[in-house]
Structures are given as structure tokens and as C-alpha cells.
Amino acid sequence: MRLRFLVLYSAIEASLTEMMSSRNFNRETSSESSTLHASITNFQFLITLVVVKNCMAFTRGLSTKLQGRTLDIVAAYKSVSVVKEALTDVRKTIDERFSEWFAETEELAKTVAVEPSIPRRCGRQTQRENCPADTPEIYYRRVIGIPYLDDVLSGMEARFSRLTSTAIQALKLVPAFVQSATFDEIKHFVDFYHTDLPSPSTMPSELRLWQKTCESMLSKPETVAGALKVCCKTDFPNISVILKS
């Protein structure tokens, strides 16, 4: 959505300009258009847009996979560490990377005749936005670039914790995808929930039997809910518990 907005930015700005000045629109519409135009031609808005776009570029593919099929979700979790490492590298070199983002913002700002500027500071500097800086680039790096990137990293750490990453591997037990599963992959989950499983020591044999059972299914469920409907708790006690977890 943010990337699309950036692509359409010039057209949006031009449309708002037209709505502000054209007599074809009533006073209320012209007033609202003027307010929106002032908001999107503010340099702080532009630098925020560019920062978000560049940070989210790292997670775009991951986000798409997480909204896909079960196998896509499993694949997505395997690439989480790569995305986190890439964002961490950006954080370590934030001065250089932010200079690139700032230059990109300056080019965008030129299209709407906006100069880089720092918001006026209050007498008492009690908020981050009042952080002193020598230049607009330094200011926006401190108040937007670094905080936003840190927030993305902490959010990924919270969402893709070891617990979640381990649990997601259990999705490979879904009948449509279990043929490619190995016990080494499932073992992480078995070890993690060892005390919750009825018979963890029999899991290797149970997995092979489950794979054979799923192989013979004419219609193989592609979801956990579908897998639970065809998973006999008597024959597959461990797998039944794992799928419910």
C-alpha cells in the first residue's frame, strides 16, 4: 500500500491541487483538499513515507508468504532470520543508509517544490520531536529513521519468537505437505513439547505411518483443521496433540 502510494504520489498531489483551485468543487471539498495537500507536501510526511517504504521492502515477500498456503507459511518462517539479519545490517549502517533515503526524499520533495526543513522547536524540549540537530538529515535520522527501524526489529523479534518458529514447523504434518517432512524438522517441536506428548519416543514411527496414511488419501487436507478431521487419535496420538497445539 505504501509503495503504491509513493508510485501514485505525483498524481495524487496534482489531483488535490486541482480540487483546491477548481470551481467545479464546492467550498467544503476545496477546503478538505487543501488540508490533505498540506499534509502530504510536508517534508516530514515525505521522509516518513520513504523510510517506511525502504524498511518494508525487506519484509514484503515475507508478508506475502505468511498470507499464503500452509507450505508458504512454513517457507516464510525459514526466511525470517535472513530478513532480520538484513534489517540488523541496515541498523548498523544507518548513517549511510539514511543518507540514501534522505537523498531519495529530496528528489521527491523537488517534484512538489518542498525544501527540507525541521519543525519549529518548543521552548522546553521534552519530546523526541524536539531533538536538536545540525541539519534536517541528522534530525530526521534521529526522530524517524532510527526509531522506526528499531520498532520494526523489535516487532519481528516479538512476532517470530523461537516458540512461534518451532510451532510453525508442525504445519508440515498437514497431509498435503507431510511427504516432504523429515523427523529432524519435527524433532524441534517434539523436544519443545516433550512433556505434553503422550508417547514422544514413538514419534519417528508414528510420522512414517502418518506419511503412508496421507499418501493413500484421495483428497489431502491443506489446513490444520482439515488434518484434525482425518487424524485418528488412537493411531496417531502424538500427531493429534501437535496439530491441536
> How far is 107 from 235, CA to CA, in rounded Å?
65
Distances (CA, A) of 219 to 45, 66, 216, 225, 227: 51, 24, 9, 14, 11
What pLDDT does residue 92 have? 97
Task: Give 158-166's long-range contacts (Cβ < 8 A, gap of 24+).
Answer: 160/77, 160/80, 160/84, 163/192, 164/77, 165/77, 165/80, 166/192
Please provide the distance, in angstroms rounded to a whole number, between the alpha carbons at the two ends of the chain.
Answer: 33
CB 153 within 8 A of CB 173: no
15-24, 124-133, 178-187, 223-232: least confident range: 124-133
Q: How many residues does the chain have?
A: 245
DSSP string for the chain: -HHHHHHTHHHHHHHHHHHHH-TTS-HHHHHHHHHHHHHHTSHHHHHHHHHHHHHHTTTHHHHHHHTS-HHHHHHHHHHHHHHHHHHHHHHHTHHHHHHHHHHHHHHHHHTTT-----PPPPSS--SGGG---SSHHHHHIIIIIHHHHHHHHHHHHHHT-HHHHHHHGGGGGSTTTGGG--HHHHHHHHHHTGGGSS-GGGHHHHHHHHHHHHHT-SS---SHHHHHHH--TTT-HHHHHHHH-
- Sorting pLDDT into bands at 50, 70 and 90, what band is 87? very high
Q: Is the pLDDT of residue 35 over 90?
A: yes
Q: Per-residue pLDDT averaged across 229-242, rounded?
A: 92
Between 153 and 184, whose confidence is greater? 153
Q: What is the pLDDT of residue 206?
A: 94
C-alpha cell at 23: 470551481
Q: Each residue of 41-54: pLDDT tens digit?
A: 999 999 999 999 99
pLDDT-derived band at 159, boundaries 50, 70, 90: confident
Task: Determine what percent of the chain is predicted with pLDDT higher than 90.
Answer: 50
| Residue 10 pLDDT > 60 | yes
Q: How far apart are CA 190 and CA 188, in angstroms?
A: 6
What pLDDT does residue 177 have? Answer: 85
Cα 3–chain centre separation:
14
Confidence of residue 64 (pLDDT cuts 50, 70, 90): confident
- CA 165 – CA 176 distance, rounded (Å): 20
Instruction: For residue range 130-156, list pLDDT tens digits in order.
Output: 555 689 999 999 999 999 999 999 998
pLDDT confidence of 162, banded at 50, 70, 90?
Answer: low
Give the start-to-end residue ranges of the domains of the chain: 41-160, 169-244
pLDDT at residue 225, rounded to an integer: 85
Q: Please tell me the predicted confidence (pLDDT) of residue 133.
A: 61
User: Does the structure show a pLDDT above 60 at 175?
Assistant: yes
- State the Cα–Cα distance between residues 78 and 88, nearest whole angstrom: 17
Flag whether pLDDT at 2 surpasses 70.
no
Determine what percent of the chain is predicted with pLDDT higher than 70. 86
Q: What is the pLDDT of residues 12-22, one digit of tens each?
A: 999 999 998 88
